[in-house]
């Protein structure tokens, strides 16, 4: 099965992002707005059990994380993804590192750039127009996230929560 690990921002941020994702993100219906901490990986039913145990330990040793949304940016010219840039704090970088070591050891495909996708798979002109328009808006916001989520992908491509891990509060 295909899994991934994410942070979900507050409903306020999700609603704001979704108002754009409806029009500009082809994955809008597949997953809620999120910060990917560990990209998709495959594990069997047997392999996921020790991974879940490790995630509980990581959560227990990790304090709640501040998400500081700074501005709208893009990965262009590498790809046409428009996103809300999140400050890469030590807490966030440490969690990312923990989720790519030990039993979860796997070199990430890309450098870690914390973000929430707003639009993707846009034409060159649309990307340019949408990015320019969004960069004129103020998206600065700070909040604290107290949990991360292990998601799995269903056959229809949608992602759903497999388990939730409270930061600094796990007791397993």
Instruction: Determine the length of the chain.
Output: 172
**DSSP at 33:** S
CB pairs under 8 A, 24+ apart, for 160-166? 162/3, 162/48, 163/52, 163/55, 165/55, 165/56, 165/58, 165/59, 166/59
- Which residue in 34, 96, 127, 149 is the catalytic one? 34
Beta strands in the chain (DSSP E): 2-7, 35-42, 65-74, 82-86, 115-119, 141-145, 147-153, 159-166
- Which residue in 56, 96, 100, 115 is the catalytic one? 115
Whether 34 sits among the annotated catalytic residues: the reply is yes
- Give Cβ neighbours of residue 59 (< 8 Å, ≥ 6 apart): 147, 148, 165, 166, 167, 168, 169, 170
Active site residues: 34, 115
């Amino acid at each position: 099965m295909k899994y991934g690990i994410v942070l979900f921002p507050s409903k306020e941020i999700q609603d704001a992002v979704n108002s754009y994702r409806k029009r500009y993100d082809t994955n809008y219906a597949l997953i809620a707005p999120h910060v990917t901490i560990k990209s998709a990986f495959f594990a069997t039913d047997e392999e996921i059990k020790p991974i879940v145990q490790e995630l509980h330990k990581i959560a227990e040793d990790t304090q709640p994380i501040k998400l500081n949304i700074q501005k709208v940016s893009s990965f262009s010219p590498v790809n046409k993804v428009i996103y809300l840039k999140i400050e890469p704090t030590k807490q966030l970088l440490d969690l990312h590192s923990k989720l790519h070591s030990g039993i979860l050891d796997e070199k990430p495909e890309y450098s870690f750039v914390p973000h929430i996708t707003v639009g993707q798979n846009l034409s060159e002109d649309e990307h340019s127009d949408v990015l320019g328009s969004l960069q004129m808006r103020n998206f600065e916001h700070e909040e604290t996230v107290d949990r991360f989520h292990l998601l799995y992908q269903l056959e229809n491509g949608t992602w759903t929560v497999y388990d939730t891990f409270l930061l600094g509060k796990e007791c397993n």
